[in-house]
Amino acid sequence: MDKILRINMGPGAPAFKTESRDKYAGLGGRGLTSAIVAGEVPPLCHPLSADNKLVFAPGLLSGTLAAMSGRLSVGCKSPLTGGIKEANSGGMPSQVMARLGYAGIVLEGKPDDDTLYKIFINKDGVTVTPDNSLKGLGNYDLVEKMKQEFGDAICCMSIGQAGEMKLASASVACTDMELRPTRHAGRGGVGAVMGAKGVKVIVMDDTGTEMRPPKDPEKFKAANKIFVKGLKEHAVTGQGLPAYGTNVLTNVVNEAGGYPTNNFLYGRFKGAAAISGETMAELETARGGKATHGCHRGCVIRCSGTYMDKDGHYLTKQPEYETVWAHGGNCGIDDMDAIAQMDRLDDDFGIDTIEMGATIGVAMEAGLAAFGDADAAIQLVKEVGKGTPLGRILGSGAAVTGKVFGVERVPVVKNQAMPAYDPRAVQGIGVTYATSTMGADHTAGYAVATNLLGVGGNVDPLKPEGQIELSRNLQIATAAIDSTGMCLFIAFAVLDQPETFAAMVDMINAFYGLNLDGDGVAALGKKILTMEREFNEQAGFTSKDDRLPAYFQTEALPPHNVRFGVTDQELDTVYNF
């Protein structure tokens, strides 16, 4: 994994070249995507212009035998936020890209016409081919067509109709182990940038390649064994997530009064039990699906599953907690089949499920549909796929939809929709939403773990005290973890088990021949956040952008009747490393 592939999609025939990664040595995943964007993209450029770049990067440990190392980072200047963006995905592309020897793939320039291209990469090289027969295809049909052309030993990174239309909620789909486009780099409109580059799909085949070898195989193997043991012994990563998936959180967050309902109007949803992880796992099993499934080789948590329709036919992967909330409780919908159908549509059209669900909640507040009307919600998602004027508005995200329809209560930061935790009842995540370089993003600093689950300590979720330090430390740690290619869910065990954290560091050291320690991991996280922060400042962001919408400070959230209590002055200290 010692080279970077650059593909220039500018006017004329696309050109590509490989170069050494020396300039970006020691960086992978989010560290590499943010370094390239911060160093090579003009901060004031239009996100859909030729000046923007779309960067795909496996993590430092991707393509190895390290457990949980298959996360992919996708970076650019975001069409949704206008700032720097790293969207993270599971699936197979990260492992395959790393085994092909690429630390990163960079799409540059843009065509001067509307020709669509497919890119094929294997051990023998790269081909870039125009193929307008792919226009208008959803991700599912597109992948089937790629299988027919290139065989089954492939993985794909692709866009659906939303990416072709360059909508700000468009995602990049990554295929899972079954070659289904179910894992998405969803946030920030990265799919729109891929569409602007004229690239419909990147197909990769690592046949004939080998696992990346560590410099110290025995030390690496021993550390990996300790790491896996810690994951399997932790209650969250070894029991809750494998049994019920990420949707295990529905009952937990609802009981805590932090489950945003009806566009963040209430903190509890009466229909939560009907769409909980426990209920969904039972339904999946009864219909012949799976309640436990890994999204890539090397996953030992296996927090996904397979959702079948009422007739026992495959419909979609197990909808994630965020998706179930966004299309469920946030819209007042407790119909699991309707939620799964919307998840399938989102994946096929290539739309971020969080942004789409939040947008429908705003649309419902505007009167376009009634809260709880599942059929109307499904039709709104279909509008996006059709590319109607209404669909293009909705596909542009919650902030745009709120402006078009005159809605005040729009739950966004830096124009990106908030995920499934109300910041008034989980105030640590409110700090992360407000101050993250990415816009409202729970994965940027998952304070829910400590606020609600007691992982890594306890900080009262309803009070402002301690939230700044909690979010700051988690944002630093997360930036570093996102660079390794590790799934963020390892954080549950890492935070609670010092030996599991040490094993993760030992794996990095054994693989690269380093002497990294905990301080070194923190230094990497701070370096990444500093790059991202500086890019956003040059793009025009100020401290005023590190704020929640005002109504979170003025409207009390039932059932606890609490407001967001962290002051602006305190928020401005998060990046005082």
Q: pLDDT 10s digit of each residue in the chain, 577 long?
A: 689 999 999 998 899 999 999 999 999 999 999 999 999 999 999 999 999 999 999 999 999 999 999 999 999 999 999 999 999 999 999 999 999 999 999 999 999 999 999 999 999 999 999 999 999 999 999 999 999 999 999 999 999 999 999 999 999 999 999 999 999 999 999 999 999 999 999 999 999 999 999 999 999 999 999 999 999 999 999 998 998 889 999 999 999 999 999 999 999 999 999 999 999 999 999 999 988 888 877 889 988 999 999 999 999 999 999 999 999 999 999 999 999 999 999 999 999 999 999 999 999 999 999 999 999 999 999 999 999 999 999 999 999 999 999 999 999 999 999 999 999 999 999 999 999 999 999 999 999 999 999 999 999 999 999 999 999 999 999 999 999 999 989 999 999 999 999 999 999 999 999 998 999 999 999 999 999 999 999 999 999 999 999 999 999 999 999 999 999 999 999 999 9
Structure tokens at 336: 């699991």
Q: In a 3-state reduction of DSSP, which class is residue 88?
A: strand
Q: Which residue in 227, 567, 264 sits closest to 431, CA to CA?
A: 567
CATH fold of 261-422? 1.10.569
Residue 487 per-residue DSSP state: -
Same CATH fold, 261-422 and 3-204? no
Is-contact 92 177, C-beta < 8 A? yes
Element (H, E) at 127: strand 125-130
> What 3-state class would DSSP assign to 126?
strand
pLDDT at residue 488 in the model: 86
Return all residues near 309 (Cβ < 8 A) that are at least 6 apart: 287, 315, 337, 340
Amino acid at 4: I
* pTM confidence score: 0.97
Kind of pairing between the strands at 84-89 and 15-20: unpaired
pLDDT at 292: 87
Query: Does residue 549 have a cis bond before it (omega within 30 degrees)?
Result: no
Predicted local confidence at residue 12, as pLDDT: 85
Q: What are phi and psi of 206, to 5 degrees?
A: -100, 20
Q: How far apart are CA 66 and CA 228, in angstroms?
A: 9
- The single-letter code of the amino acid at 445 is G
* Count of CA atoms in the C-beta half-sphere (13 A) of 138: 17
Domain locations in the chain as residue ranges: 3-204, 261-422
The yes or no reply on domain 3-204 and CATH 1.10.1330.10 is: no
**Residue 59 to residue 31: CA distance in whole angstroms:** 9
